[in-house]
Amino acid sequence: MAVEKIIQDLKNKLYSPIYFLHGEEAYYIDKISDYIEKNVLSDSEKEFNQTVVYGKELDTLTLLSYAKRYPMMSNYQVIIVKEAQDIKALSGKEEKTKDDRNPLLEYVQNPQKSTILVFCYKYKTLDKRTRLSKALDKNAVLFESKKLYDNKIPDWVIQYVQSQGFRINPKAAMMIGEYLGNDLSKITNEIDKLLLSPIPSREITMQLVEDNIGISKDFNIFELHAALGKRNVLKANQIVNYFAANPKSSPMVLTMQQLFSYFIKVLTYHRLPIKSRNEVASALGVNPYFISDYETAAKAYPEHKVLSVISTIREYDMKSKGVNNGSATEGDLLKELVWKILH
Q: How confident is residue 100, by pLDDT bands cut at 50, 70 and 90?
A: low
Which pTM value belongs to this model?
A: 0.73
User: What pLDDT is attached to residue 278?
Assistant: 87
The secondary structure of 105-130 as a DSSP string is HHHHHS--TTEEEEEEEESB---TTS
pLDDT at 97 over 60: no
Instruction: For 262-291, give one letter per residue: b (16+ CB within 10 A) or e.
Output: bbebbbbbbeeeeeeeeebbeebebbeebb
User: What pLDDT is attached to residue 149?
Assistant: 85
Q: Using CB atoms within 10 A of its CB, is residue 231 exposed (0-12), middle (13-18) or buried (19+)?
A: middle
Instruction: For 187-198, give one letter per residue: b (16+ CB within 10 A) or e.
Output: bbebbeebbeee
How far is it, in rounded angstroms, from Cα 313 to Cα 315? Answer: 5
Q: How confident is residue 234, by pLDDT bands cut at 50, 70 and 90?
A: very high
Average pLDDT over every residue of 29-54: 96
pLDDT per residue over 314-339, tens digit each?
A: 999 999 888 887 788 889 999 999 99
User: What pLDDT is attached to residue 219?
Assistant: 82
* 18, 136 contact by CB (below 8 A): yes
User: What pLDDT is attached to residue 1?
Assistant: 64
Task: Give the fold, CATH level 3, of 221-342.
Answer: Zinc Finger, Delta Prime; domain 3 (1.20.272)
Number of other CB atoms surrounding residue 338 within 10 Å:
24
Q: What is the CATH number of domain 3-144?
A: 3.40.50.300
DSSP 151: G
pLDDT at 93 over 70: no
In what order do the strands lie in the sheet containing 141-144?
Answer: 50-54, 77-82, 115-122, 18-23, 141-144
pLDDT per residue over 102-139, tens digit each?
A: 899 999 999 999 999 999 999 999 888 889 999 999 99
The secondary structure of 179-225 as a DSSP string is HHTT-HHHHHHHHHHHTTS--GGGEE-HHHHHHHH---SSSSHHHHH
Nearest to 75 by CA among 162, 139, 13, 5: 13
pLDDT at 81 over 80: yes
User: What pLDDT is attached to residue 16?
Assistant: 96
pLDDT at 96 over 60: no
Cα 78 → chain centroid: 28
User: What pLDDT is attached to residue 65?
Assistant: 94
Average pLDDT over every residue of 19-27: 95
First CA to last CA across the chain, in angstroms? 51
Cα 67 → chain centroid: 32
Q: What is the CATH number of domain 150-213?
A: 1.10.8.60
pLDDT per residue over 52-74, tens digit each?
A: 999 888 889 999 999 999 999 99
- For the chain, what are the domain ranges? 3-144, 150-213, 221-342
pLDDT at 226 over 80: yes
The residues pairing with 51 across neighbouring beta strands, listed in sequence order, are 79
* 125, 131 contact by CB (below 8 A): no
Residue 24, phi then psi, degrees to nearest 5 = -75, -30
User: What pLDDT is attached to residue 99?
Assistant: 57
Q: How confident is residue 37, by pLDDT bands cut at 50, 70 and 90?
A: very high
User: What pLDDT is attached to residue 98?
Assistant: 56
Query: Which range has the worst mean pLDDT, 87-101, 137-151, 202-216, 260-274?
Result: 87-101
pLDDT per residue over 282-294, tens digit each?
A: 899 888 888 999 9
pLDDT at 221 over 90: no
